[in-house]
């Protein structure tokens, strides 16, 4: 790993064993990007990579006879107005109305390690030898303003992180209308853009489109979160790139609010990628001595396909973004009462559900919505964070200790950023909701957004919820957030500051998370936002797992978790076995399949185990025993591989392989059963080709399988039926595992699945 500045050629070269990133100071003192890709040898002079020629209609930004034009130059942080007619990364309005800026090289610093950018979350290092950082300071003399571009390259990952900071020194105020976190340019447009799009209950579906001249973009304008519609991630891959070969560049924004990811292709085939805070609705005034810091973009390069990109994101987010007590810990197996009871519960019902959970081997019971204020439905009570003693006469304090006496840990649901108008909080502070004067206040889920851009609001909520936690025995908190921001306006805030409201709101959320995780470091926080509307890297900094989707249907979850795995480690994915018919799709799937999907995540249950049959209860106990045996591999140690794409066929498959390649767990899921179907082979990845492995698959018929039908077809339904055989790693990866379609019939036919354990043998 090195960051080198070649003084004579004025080139910076950032490189490690896998990736190189090269920029230089041009003759106009601005920065040019020369190369980003697979690692190349360092040399004194890379300026030959600069290309220029005279073109019709070009504007030249240096004195004659120079022909440097920004329109045809791969700029490092482009601005508008001096000959570049593409989208800028930075727009600043000055007091005279001008938007023309000229940030030129002033100085740079290279140092070991990585600085934080608090209060914004970001990746980090635990010792200075893990990474090196380059900070380049550019200066605009007319405004007397600095622009600091920061680059960190990690030793052990093909990762470069980027952020930008504006520091204003001038006497006249300026207004930031747009400031991206990073901009990267490519010579050509021979790429496909990959992004994760969707909506409630179908979050992070994989979308791929071929680049074309013009602008392709993803964005969020939701205000409260990164959103279910477009995740703050995109990648550019070569058309031939697959999961396991070819080039791909990933861009992931560590931010939970309005974001923009944009790819612009010029009519000369040049491609510009930018990512950062969405400029729509954003306006940040700076006076002398003030500064503004952008969120971080984590850029990953892979020349070994999409799987390698994803594994890099998984490793760095698991090890150098998540932090605190739970970073390297397996997650407790939990049961949440929401789909079991909704609002209709009392202490006796809760304890009965908890007792049955303990009997099955569950480790954590979570009490969901409805425990506070007058909260018997979602019309009232939100914001009143004190216990409803009619439902829970022992309070949260007493209930949590009763649950612990059963041998379980206790968890609690909260939704701290929202309020019902039918609440004591709203009646006392009607000016604390985000809404515009004399405008209709749009409602969603009968609730409104508290103004977390105001410190007094955050202070109030913190004290209320912290009091509940201090008085109780709580090991887990599910932090929900169930609506987007409309009419973004902060009452009592100066008109000139209204463009700051949405960003300050997110900073308020980070502030509350920081206070709670600091005071209660042993608590496991899980982020949630109407399911997966806030699944972004910044949330993982505070809450190392996120409820992946409210859609708990096993078949749909294969798509959702498959797409989520493009960026996020499976230990971050909240995944539960829920009741059937499924509460979102009314679909019935085998309980074995529901578990086989949920294993590849945090794993838990979202139902009342008292309502299961004896056969289903036996399956649950078996599932929990399996997860306890393999969760270290699945959640902490292993590398995740995608094998079959649910967006392209009837089957989905994936697997996790231990770092030392001695064991693995793989799963195959089918959507609809097929009659008289063709042969099917499951080809694995990531194994040692020269090692011999024992492959095992439990072929015991599903607990939901019709016994009489089983007898008719000669299926044995008594006892465990495990099929095992031995094969070398290269066989399993190249020839694959032959899948018997009759085994899928045993497992339920439609929506059946097969789970394989693979262990190295001497």
What is the rounded distance in angstroms from the CA atom of residue 306 to the CA atom of residue 248?
A: 7
Any long-range contacts for 52-60 (C-beta under 8 Å, 24+ apart)? 58/83, 59/83
Strand pairing class (159-168; 604-606): unpaired
Torsion sign, CA atoms 70, 72, 76, 80: positive
Kindly give, in sequence order, each residue whose CB lies less than 8 Å from that of residue 197, ignoring residues fewer than 6 positions away.
Answer: 204, 205, 207, 218, 229, 230, 231
**Helices and strands per DSSP (H, E), number in the chain:** 14, 39
User: From CA 698, how far away is CA 704, in angstroms rounded?
Assistant: 15
Residue 743 annotated to the active site = no
* Phi/psi of residue 248, nearest 5 degrees: -150, 140
What burial letters (b/e) apply to 357-373, b meaning 16+ CB within 10 Å?
bbebebbbbbbbbbbbb
* Residue with the two structure tokens 């008292």: 610
- What is the C-alpha separation between 489 and 437, in angstroms, rounded? 8
The CA-atom distances, in angstroms, between 406 and each of 269, 389, 394, 400, 410 are: 65, 21, 16, 10, 10
Place of tokens 């810091």: 293
Give which of 457, 387, 456 is closest to 416, Cα–Cα: 457
Under 8 Å between Cβ of 703 and 613:
yes
Following CA atoms 573, 576, 581, 584 in sequence, which dihedral angle do they give, to the nearest 10 degrees? -40
Nearest-CA neighbor of 534 among 251, 194, 200?
200
Q: Which residues contact 378 (CB under 8 A, 6 or more apart)?
A: 343, 369, 420, 445, 446, 447
CB–CB of 558/276 below 8 Å?
Answer: no
140 noted as active-site residue: no
Distance, first Cα to last Cα, the chain: 37
Closest CA to 673 of 750, 753, 591: 750
Tokens of 307: 């799987």
The catalytic position among 140, 369, 384, 480 is 480
* Dist. CA 194–CA 300, nearest whole Å: 14
Q: Give the residue among 387, 384, 407, 413 at the shortest CA–CA distance from 398.
A: 387
Contact 417, 509 (CB under 8 A): yes
DSSP per-residue codes, 675-707: SSPPPEEE---SS-TTSEEEEEEE-PPPTTS-H
In angstroms, the Cα distances linking 583 to 43, 198, 587, 641 are 61, 19, 8, 30
Tokens of 759: 């262990």
Q: Name the active-site residue from 550, 551, 553, 639.
A: 550
Number of CB atoms found within 10 A of residue 650's CB: 14
3-state secondary structure 116-134: CECCECCCCCCCHHHEEEE
Q: Is the dihedral of CA 670, 545, 150, 154 positive or negative?
A: negative
CA distance linking residue 149 with residue 166, whole number of Å: 9
CB 309 within 8 A of CB 250: yes
> HSE-up of 592 (CA within 13 Å, CB side)?
30
| Residues assigned a catalytic role | 480, 550
């Amino acid at each position: 790993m090195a960051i080198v500045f070649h003084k004579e050629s004025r080139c910076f070269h950032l490189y490690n064993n896998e990736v190189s990133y090269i920029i230089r100071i041009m003759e106009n003192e601005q920065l040019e990007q020369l190369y980003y890709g697979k690692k190349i040898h360092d040399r004194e002079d890379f300026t030959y990579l600069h290309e220029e020629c005279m073109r019709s209609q070009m504007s030249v930004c240096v004195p004659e006879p120079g022909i440097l034009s920004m329109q045809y130059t791969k700029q490092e942080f482009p601005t508008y107005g001096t000959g570049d007619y593409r989208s800028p990364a930075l727009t600043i309005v000055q007091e005279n109305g001008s938007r023309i800026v000229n940030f030129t090289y002033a100085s740079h610093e290279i140092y070991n390690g990585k600085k934080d950018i608090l209060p914004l979350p970001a990746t980090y290092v635990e010792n200075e030898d893990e990474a090196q950082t380059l900070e380049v300071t550019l200066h605009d003399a007319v405004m007397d303003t600095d622009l600091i571009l920061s680059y960190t390259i990690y030793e052990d990952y093909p990762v470069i992180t980027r952020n930008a900071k504006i520091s204003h020194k001038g006497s006249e105020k300026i207004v930031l209308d747009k400031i991206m976190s990073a901009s990267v340019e490519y010579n050509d447009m021979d790429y496909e853009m990959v992004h994760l799009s969707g909506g409630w209950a179908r979050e992070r579906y994989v979308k791929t489109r071929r680049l074309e001249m013009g602008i392709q973009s993803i964005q969020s304008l939701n205000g409260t979160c990164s959103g279910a519609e477009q995740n703050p991630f995109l990648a550019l891959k070569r058309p031939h790139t697959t999961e396991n070969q070819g080039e791909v560049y990933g861009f992931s924004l560590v931010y939970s609010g309005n974001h923009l990811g944009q790819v612009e292709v010029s009519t000369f085939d040049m491609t510009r990628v930018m990512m950062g805070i969405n400029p729509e609705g954003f306006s940040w005034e700076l006076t002398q001595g003030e500064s503004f810091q952008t969120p971080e973009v984590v850029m990953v390069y892979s020349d070994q396909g999409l799987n390698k990109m994803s594994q890099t994101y998984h490793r760095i987010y698991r090890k150098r973004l998540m932090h605190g007590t739970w970073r390297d810990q397996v997650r407790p197996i939990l049961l949440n009462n929401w789909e079991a009871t909704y609002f209709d519960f009392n202490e006796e019902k809760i304890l009965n559900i908890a007792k049955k959970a303990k009997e099955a081997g569950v480790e954590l019971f979570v009490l969901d919505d409805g425990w506070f204020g007058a909260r018997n439905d979602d019309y009232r009570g939100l914001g009143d964070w004190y216990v409803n003693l009619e439902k829970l006469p022992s309070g949260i304090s007493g209930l949590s200790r009763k649950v612990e006496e059963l041998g379980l840990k206790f968890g609690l649901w909260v939704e701290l950023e929202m309020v019902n108008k039918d609440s004591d909080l709203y009646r006392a502070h009607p000016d604390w909701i985000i809404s515009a004067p004399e405008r209709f206040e749009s409602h969603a889920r009968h609730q409104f957004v508290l103004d977390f851009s105001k410190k007094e609001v955050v202070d109030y909520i913190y004290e209320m919820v912290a009091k509940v936690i201090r008085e109780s025995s709580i090991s887990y908190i599910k932090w929900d957030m169930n609506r987007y921001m409309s009419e973004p306006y902060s009452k009592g805030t100066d008109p000139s500051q209204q463009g700051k409201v949405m960003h300050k709101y997110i900073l308020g959320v980070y502030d509350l998370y920081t206070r709670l995780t600091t005071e209660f470091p042993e608590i496991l926080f899980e982020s949630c936002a109407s399911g997966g509307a806030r699944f972004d890297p910044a949330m993982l900094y505070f809450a190392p797992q996120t409820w992946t989707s409210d859609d708990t249907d096993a078949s749909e979850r294969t798509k959702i978790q498959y797409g989520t795995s493009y960026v996020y480690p499976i230990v971050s994915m909240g995944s539960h076995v829920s009741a059937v018919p499924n509460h979102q799709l009314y679909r019935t799937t085998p309980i074995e399949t529901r578990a086989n999907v949920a294993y590849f995540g945090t794993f838990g249950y979202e139902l009342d185990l008292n309502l299961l049959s004896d056969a289903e209860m036996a399956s649950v106990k078996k599932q929990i025993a399996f997860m306890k045996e393999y969760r270290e591999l699945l959640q902490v140690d292993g590398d995740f591989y995608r094998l079959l794409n649910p967006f392209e066929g009837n089957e989905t498959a994936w697997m996790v392989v231990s770092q030392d390649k001695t064991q693995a767990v793989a799963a195959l899921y089918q959507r609809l059963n097929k009659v008289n179907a063709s042969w099917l082979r499951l080809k694995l990845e990531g194994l040692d080709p020269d090692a011999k492995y024992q492959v095992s698959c439990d072929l015991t018929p599903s607990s939901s399988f019709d016994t009489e039908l089983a007898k008719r077809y000669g299926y044995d339904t008594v006892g465990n039926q495990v099929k095992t055989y031995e094969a070398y790693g290269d066989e399993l990866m190249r020839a694959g595992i032959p899948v018997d379609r009759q085994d899928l019939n045993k497992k339920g036919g439609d929506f059946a699945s097969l789970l394989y354990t693979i262990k190295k043998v001497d």
